[in-house]
Amino acid sequence: MEHIYIYDTTLRDGTQGEEISFSVEDKIKIALRLDAFGVNYIEGGWPGSNPKDMEFFERMKSVPLKRSRLAAFGSTCRASSTPETDDNVNQLLRADTPAVTIFGKSWNLHVVEALGTTLERNIEIICSTVKYLKANHKEVIYDAEHFFDGYKSDPSYAVKTIQAAEAGGADIVVLCDTNGGSMPYEIETIVKSAAEAIKIPIGIHAHNDAELAVANSLAAVRAGAVHVQGTINGFGERCGNANLCSIIPNLQIKMGFSAVAPERLSALTELSRFVSEVANLQPRKNLPYVGQSAFAHKGGIHVSAVMKSARTYEHIEPQVVGNSRRVLVSDLSGKSNVLYKAQELGIKIAGNNGQASSIVGQLKALENEGYVFEDADASLEILIRKETGEVKMPFELESLHIIIEKDANDGISRTVATIKLRVGDKIEMTASEGNGPVNALDNALRKALLQFYPQLAETKLSDYKVRVVDGGDGTAAKVRVLIETTDQDSNWDTVGVSENIIEASWKALVDSIVYKMMKDNDRSKTSKRHVELTK
């Protein structure tokens, strides 16, 4: 099985994307995770461009990598200097990495207008810089910047630039679709032509401006490329780089190449989400292979088929890439969705006793009102368990008052929520302040219930989102409130809908507390059964 070398540039090219910024600590964490996953190369940054990257390479000197080779990135020497005197080139040597990647100009337009030099001098620059780095015992990866645009402009000159890199002793030439506008059939044709012009291996570096970076990378491999550059989750400048989270499984599962060790492919989803987490970005749900929606099924007909054979609507087993199957329940659902979800939650529902049909009917009615249960599994579980008689409300609301005061003199708003609850045969009334009406309501509700249910002290509201269901109704529109609650073991999501934001928040808050009680009750039953079995 032919091996395709994977070159990750998340820590350099990936950071050029909007909203992407890594500290030195972040970069080290990601480098270690990439090494554990088994990419062949990790491009750590450009040591001559900023202090952060210089610090990263300095610290990485004491961080051993087991599977990956660290690469420092830079450019050929300036037209007015030599490699020996060029500070940026010598910073690459100071980085002390086993591999060095340099880019040079392939497009005559760039040579003349951007570099401001002659075509002949550019050839000299490429050859001499590669030769200098090789003389210093580095593996040299030469990135032929704008190669495809350069080839379309002047094929002969573009080829001469990569021949110059070969003459200097480059270990591999990487053809770059820097503007990201080439088509797969162009990539395949040009890569074949370039491969015939040089004897050393060829690689591909694609950008995603035409939504073709992955396709172009695979086309290049079909044409003979043995080295693929990209980033985790496709992070990168403008529209991003080629997404390695799609490229790797496509190469390995679909095309029969080796990219990473087979046993490590199942860590791909975890790697994708880890990098998003470090970047402080919400993972994109619709990413192929690794996204939360990649193996999610919503239509009733689809779910019915998947329950019989997953192959009917899944091109691979989710576990191969470390993902998992999800069945969504919505107004598009049938009984199959509900039965699958109930089985997933460990709830027994007989498909022919009317319970499943009743739940489907309730779901359709609620979603028509504006509810969405795809991101509110806790509310969905409560709804199902209510139908099966497994949920009893731990309290009843007697009354609720919220007062908001704003002092014209100091401009400060003050909110107080007063709540009266019935818990069993007892009445509890309490008040609490908050930063706003929802915070005050949350504080008052917990304060009233703590003496009855002290485990609620473990919980906290970790996220709160409001969505307008139909903006056409203006300020009278329904709103959907999604709440995430966390305790020491897990987190869960609940939903509420109403024309009144306080009422919608109340519904979601109540569900969050009911779910906590339900979860603790289930854990208590399991613990008791365990004790009985061990007696």
Summarised one tens digit per residue, pLDDT across range 380-433 is: 888 888 887 888 888 999 999 999 887 767 667 889 999 999 998 999 999 999
- pLDDT confidence band for 532 (50 / 70 / 90): very low
- Written as one letter, the residue type at 460 is K
Cα separation, 127 vs 113, whole angstroms = 20
State residue 389's pLDDT score.
80
Q: In which band, very low, low, confident or very high, does the pLDDT at 296 lie, cut at 50, 70 and 90?
A: confident
- pLDDT on residue 142: 98
Q: From CA 269, how far away is CA 283, in angstroms rounded?
A: 10
Q: In what order do the strands lie in the sheet with 396-406?
A: 396-406, 413-423, 426-434
Mean of pLDDT values over 466-490: 82
Residue with tokens 């319970």: 355
pLDDT at 156: 97
Say which range, 11-20, 88-97, 359-368, has the weakest mean pLDDT. Answer: 359-368
Mean pLDDT to the nearest integer, 428-451? 90
Give the model confidence (pLDDT) of 212-255 as tens digits.
999 999 999 999 999 999 999 999 999 999 999 999 999 999 99
Rounded CA gap, 342 and 377, in Å? 11
Mean pLDDT of 117-129: 97
Residue with tokens 């906290």: 460
pLDDT of amino acid 533:
40
Name beta bridge partners: 204: 175, 228
Q: What's the pLDDT tens digit per position in 141-185?
A: 999 999 999 999 999 999 999 999 999 999 999 999 999 999 999
Tokens of 429: 């009334």
The mean pLDDT of 489-512, rounded to a whole number, is: 91
Q: From CA 464, how far away is CA 256, in angstroms rounded? A: 45
* pLDDT of the residue at 331: 53
The answer to whether 12 and 52 have CB atoms below 8 angstroms apart is: no
Residues 6+ positions from 361 with CB-CB distance below 8 Å:
none
* Helix 501-534 / helix 437-449 crossing angle, nearest 10 deg: 30
Q: What is the pTM of this model?
A: 0.76
- Between helix 335-345 and helix 355-369 the angle, nearest 10°, is 100
Q: What is the 3-state secondary structure (H, E, C) of 88-122?
A: HHHHHHHCCCCEEEEEEECCHHHHHHHHCCCHHHH
Tell me which DSSP letter residue 207 carries. Answer: B
Residue pair 47/92 in contact (Cβ under 8 Å)? The answer is yes
Any alpha helices (H) in 4-62, and if so which ranges? 24-37, 51-60
pLDDT digits (tens, 9 = 90+) for 1-11: 899 999 999 99
185 and 222 in contact (C-beta within 8 Å)? no
Give the whole-angstrom CA distance, residue 314 versus residue 312: 6
Q: Which domains does the chain have, with CATH numbers?
A: 5-278 (3.20.20.70), 296-369 (no CATH)
Tokens describing residue 63: 């961080």
